[in-house]
């Protein structure tokens, strides 16, 4: 035991209680003459004996404190780590908890942590800003806390019903400590902060009041200190008496221990004491607040928190009393612009300064020239707000930009004497001399082109399946209106090059839109019946076809750059094809010769060319020109990269072939979602066109080993369908086309029709066309005609003659159509037959070889190729090229086509086996 606890006299006990230096005297020995002082090291390292309950609960409270600190800084990863440690610590304290019950502070942290995690989980914006580790920890911890809290459901429910009970217990302790410390601070300083902020007209009365307040605070402090001390003075005196009676054997340490109330009366007294103390404290606080309110009646003092002013003052542009002139404003504008682009510049503050400068210029009537110049710089600063090229504008910045451009256009239209342009030098600007035309450096067209690019970036970076995309798309009306205003302005004051550029912007916002009003006017010609004024105003609007014709022809005639003219031609073809003007679109494409040198164009123009060719193929399909449709779509569909070639997304397999920078560039080239072409519709049109061409060709050349494939992709789909062990009803679009092809191959046009046109295919493909009924009618007709051709090719060897009326009934075609189809087949030598006009029958000539004859022909061809190969090998060994090949120069090269064809035939014959 330490010497601190040795017995001593009454004087020693009194001196120890009074807080003086402790001097111990041992009972006997050689050290009686020299007193031993307790050293600081021994005092620091004195041993503290704690119960197991205190140890475990202290460990729990330390972990809970760490969790709460992590919750304040939104460190969910730290919360997860400490929660796992807390669970382990609670498991160690299980035996104590079983005796004492679950502590309230433990229930409180479980309830608070669950509420905190639920709040974070519901905050969608906050979750997006979380890093990967925090987001993962949030999901994990949320699941763990929900599972863990099931064991404490009753405790948590009780806590949530009465959360103040446990909170008050801790708050009382904290308030007692903080109260004493704060009052002591006031004693040390002499005056409180509230007293310091007071200002009265009479100084002596203020000083006397401060002195009185100080005395009251000191009295309160003494009362608090007396209340806070729970030392039992009566017990000390009785303890000293008992010490004398028992031979002074009581340990000095017991005098410093707080005596807990044992009886009910002591508990009631302590409770009453606590209530009186809380009441006194509440009265003191209310008294102070009343005094401060009385002092602040004049409105001269303002209470702030954390030293931050409640109202943010606007930055001062000019010193007080400065005369606002053109030179001063321009100088200030240049100062603001010099900070543009520098590191550490607050871009938002720069925009605010420029807007404030516009207000100052308008208030001081400095003229429209200065305002226009500042407006140009505001718009440029809005574009520079995002330093990264790939980042798009925030909605509020975008709206500011649109409003600012509209205001600028209003000023330019209202003041025709203002001239703007890039060719105007800053030295030759005229901003305030009204007698001469005002000249301002700046290009309104460049700002509008940048605005259009920003709109495209916004649409590219917005989820196309969200309501936000629809809201952004509504802004296109404002964008188009601004482009039209700039177009009208430049038509009056712009150069030919600027007019061509703004015309192209107008075309790019028009070419992909289907003109439903013009289409409706074509379907329903105007009648004499009266219409409302609104309908008449809508009908009087310019047709998109007339608008495109006017804009494109101007570019064809005036443009000096190939790129603008190429884009205009492609947009014009696209618009023609979209509105089913097939022949105009085809002729314009053929006359432009774009397909010859499009590979030298930049990628955006190549994407536009691919989109135009696809739309041209779909237009040909709607017109029933399946061969033209197939040819137009062949290059895009055969590549297997239609999505990438049309700028509608990147393929995963090609992501490995490019680095990160190339991927960013590719993503910036993507077309916004509202310009996309339906890829499933495109593939369906291509496969149906290939089916209508390929199935009759396969039937006509079934026994020909040299037949070629019209569509590799269509054959691939057929092979995939044949490999399936179980053939169920078709589900996808491709399966429908494969099933229809098999039915057409057998000449069953009704089954083919049911697979191509049904409710599922209507919903996926055919209803997407503007005139869906016409397309379906055309498809039925094409299926009937091609099924008739396939039937004649397949079963011509079975018939000696067949009546055309029978064929007409079988395929539900009129007799002239059947006659026309058969006549074409005979003329093209596809069908070896003749027409008997009086009996309306088709007489077969039976010139087709039988299966045995086909095999004999194939064997003969194989033997011939074998002989040629043997002769070549023999001549090569002999070192001479004699025979047929020796006398001809470049004989192998001349016979290259023949040999390749023979090899191809051999390969085909092997597959026939």
Q: What pLDDT is recorded for position 485?
A: 92
Helix residue ranges per DSSP H, 462-540: 467-474, 476-493, 496-508, 516-523, 533-539
Kindly report, residue by residue over 431-489, the tens digit of the pLDDT: 777 778 888 888 889 999 999 999 999 998 888 898 999 999 999 999 999 999 999 99
Within-domain flag for 234: no
Phi, psi of 836, deg, nearest 5: -100, 105
Alpha carbon distances (Å) from 18 to 234, 254, 256: 15, 15, 12
Q: Say how many domains are in the chain.
A: 3
Within-domain flag for 546: no
Dist. CA 444–CA 399, nearest whole Å: 18
Q: Note whether 543 and 576 are within 8 A (CB).
A: no
Within-domain flag for 606: no
Phi, psi of 305, deg, nearest 5: -120, 130
Dist. CA 22–CA 725, nearest whole Å: 100
Last residue of a domain, one of 445, 477, 494: 494
Q: What pLDDT is recorded for position 164?
A: 57
Low-confidence ranges of the chain (pLDDT < 50): 1-43, 45, 168-169, 171-216, 218-254, 256, 258, 295-300, 305-314, 528-531, 533-534, 537-538, 881-913
Within-domain flag for 287: no
Give the contacts of 793 (CB within 8 A, at least 6 positions apart): 696, 699, 700, 702, 830, 831
Under DSSP, the state recorded for 323 is -
Q: What pLDDT is recorded for position 290?
A: 61
Global pTM reads: 0.60
Give the contacts of 840 (CB within 8 A, at least 6 positions apart): 803, 804, 805, 815
Last residue of a domain, one of 136, 162, 188: 162
Within-domain flag for 133: yes
Within-domain flag for 813: yes
For residue 806, the surrounding DSSP H or E stretch is helix 804-811
Give the contacts of 336 (CB within 8 A, at least 6 positions apart): 350, 353, 354, 357, 377
SS3 state of residue 569: helix
Q: What pLDDT is recorded for position 317?
A: 67
Largest CA distance in the chain: 156
Helix residue ranges per DSSP H, 540-599: 544-558, 562-578, 582-592, 594-597
Give percent helix, percent strand, percent coil of the chain, each to the nearest 5: 70, 5, 30
Within-domain flag for 213: no
Q: What is the DSSP string of 586-608?
A: HHHHHHHTHHHHGGGS-HHHHHH
Last residue of a domain, one of 96, 127, 162: 162
Kindly report, residue by residue over 372-408, the tens digit of the pLDDT: 888 888 888 888 887 777 678 888 888 989 999 999 9
β partners of residue 37: 23
Would you state the structure tokens that stand for residue 612, as one six-digit string? 């135009």
Give the contacts of 499 (CB within 8 A, at least 6 positions apart): 487, 490, 491, 554, 558
Residue 402 belongs to domain spanning: 326-494
Within-domain flag for 355: yes
Q: What pLDDT is recorded for position 268?
A: 72
The CATH number of residue 731's host domain is 1.10.10.10
């Amino acid at each position: 035991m330490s010497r601190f606890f040795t017995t001593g006299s009454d004087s020693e006990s009194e001196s120890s209680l009074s807080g003086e230096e402790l001097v111990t005297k041992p009972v006997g020995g050689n050290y009686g003459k020299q007193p031993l002082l307790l050293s600081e090291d021994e005092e620091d390292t004195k041993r503290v004996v704690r119960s197991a309950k205190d140890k475990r609960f202290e460990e729990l409270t330390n972990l809970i404190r760490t969790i709460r600190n992590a919750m304040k800084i939104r460190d969910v990863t730290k919360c997860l780590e400490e929660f796992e440690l807390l669970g382990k610590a609670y498991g160690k304290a299980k035996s104590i908890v079983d005796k004492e019950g679950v502590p309230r502070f433990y229930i409180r942290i479980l309830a608070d942590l669950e509420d905190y995690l639920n709040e974070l989980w519901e905050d969608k914006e906050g979750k997006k800003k979380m890093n990967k580790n925090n987001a993962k920890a949030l999901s994990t911890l949320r699941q763990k806390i929900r599972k863990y809290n099931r064991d404490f459901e009753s405790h948590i429910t009780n806590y949530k019903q009465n959360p103040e009970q446990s909170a008050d217990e801790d708050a009382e302790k904290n308030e007692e400590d903080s109260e004493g410390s704060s009052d002591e601070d006031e004693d040390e300083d002499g005056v409180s902060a509230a007293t310091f902020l007071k200002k009265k007209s009479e100084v002596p009365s203020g000083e006397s009041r401060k002195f009185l307040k100080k005395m009251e605070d000191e009295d309160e402090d003494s009362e608090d200190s007396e209340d806070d001390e729970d030392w039992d003075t009566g017990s000390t005196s009785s303890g000293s008496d008992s010490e004398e009676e028992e031979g002074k054997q009581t340990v000095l340490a017991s005098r410093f221990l707080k005596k807990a109330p044992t009886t009910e009366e002591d508990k009631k007294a302590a409770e009453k004491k606590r209530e009186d103390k809380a009441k006194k404290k509440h009265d003191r606080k209310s008294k102070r607040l009343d005094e401060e309110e009385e002092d602040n009646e004049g409105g001269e003092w303002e209470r702030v928190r954390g030293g931050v002013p409640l109202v943010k003052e606007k930055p001062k542009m000019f010193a007080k009393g400065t005369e606002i002139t053109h030179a001063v404003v321009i100088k200030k504008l240049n100062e603001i612009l010099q900070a543009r682009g520098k590191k550490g510049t607050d871009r938002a503050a720069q925009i605010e300064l420029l807007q404030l400068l516009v207000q100052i210029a308008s208030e001081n009537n400095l003229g429209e020239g200065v305002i226009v110049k500042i407006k140009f710089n505001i718009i440029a600063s809005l574009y520079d707000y995002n330093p990264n090229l790939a980042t798009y504008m925030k909605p509020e910045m975008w709206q500011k930009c649109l409003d600012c451009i509209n205001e600028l256009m209003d000023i330019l239209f209202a003041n025709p004497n203002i001239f703007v342009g890039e060719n105007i030098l800053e030295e030759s600007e005229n901003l305030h001399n009204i007698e001469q035309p005002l000249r301002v450096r700046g290009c309104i067209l460049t700002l509008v082109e940048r605005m259009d690019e920003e709109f495209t970036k916004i649409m590219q970076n917005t989820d196309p399946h969200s309501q936000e995309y629809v809201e952004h798309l509504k802004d296109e009306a404002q964008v188009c209106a601004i482009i039209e205003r700039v177009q009208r302005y430049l038509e009056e004051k712009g150069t030919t090059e600027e007019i061509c550029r703004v015309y192209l912007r107008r075309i790019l916002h028009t070419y992909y839109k289907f003109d439903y009003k013009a289409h409706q006017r074509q379907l329903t010609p105007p009648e004499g019946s009266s219409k409302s004024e609104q309908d008449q105003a809508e009908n009087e609007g310019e047709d998109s076809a007339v608008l495109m014709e006017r804009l494109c022809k101007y570019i064809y005639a005036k443009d000096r750059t190939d790129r603008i003219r190429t884009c205009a031609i492609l947009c014009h073809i696209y618009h023609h094809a979209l509105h089913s003007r097939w022949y105009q679109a085809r002729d314009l494409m053929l006359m432009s010769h774009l397909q010859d040198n499009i590979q030298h164009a930049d990628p955006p123009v190549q994407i536009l060319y691919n989109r135009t060719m696809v739309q041209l193929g779909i237009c040909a399909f709607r017109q029933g020109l399946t061969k033209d449709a197939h040819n137009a779509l062949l290059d895009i569909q055969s590549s297997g990269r239609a999505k990438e070639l049309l700028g509608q997304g990147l393929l995963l397999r090609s992501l490995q072939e490019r680095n990160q920078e190339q991927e960013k560039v590719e993503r910036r080239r993507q077309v916004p979602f509202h310009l996309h072409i339906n890829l499933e519709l495109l593939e369906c049109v291509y496969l149906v066109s290939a089916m209508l061409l390929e199935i009759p060709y396969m039937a006509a050349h079934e026994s020909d080993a040299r037949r070629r494939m019209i569509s590799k992709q269509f054959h691939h789909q057929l092979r995939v369908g044949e490999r399936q062990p179980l053939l169920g009803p078709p589900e996808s679009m491709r399966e429908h086309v494969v099933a229809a092809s098999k039915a057409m191959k057998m000449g069953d046009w009704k089954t083919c029709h049911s697979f191509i046109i049904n409710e599922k295919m209507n919903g996926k493909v055919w209803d997407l066309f503007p005139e869906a009924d016409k397309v379906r009618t055309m498809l039925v007709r094409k299926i009937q005609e091609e099924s008739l051709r396939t039937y004649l090719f397949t079963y011509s060897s079975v018939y000696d003659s067949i009546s055309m009326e029978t064929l007409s009934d079988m395929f539900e075609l009129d007799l002239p159509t059947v006659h026309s189809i058969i006549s074409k087949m005979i003329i093209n030598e596809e069908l070896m037959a003749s027409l008997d006009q009086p009996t309306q029958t088709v007489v077969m000539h039976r010139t087709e070889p039988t299966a045995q004859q086909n095999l004999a022909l194939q064997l003969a061809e194989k033997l011939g190729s074998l002989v040629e190969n043997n002769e070549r090998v023999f001549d090569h060994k002999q070192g001479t090229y004699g025979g047929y090949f020796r006398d001809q120069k470049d004989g192998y090269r001349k016979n290259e086509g023949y040999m390749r064809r023979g090899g191809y035939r051999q390969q085909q014959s092997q597959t026939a086996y």
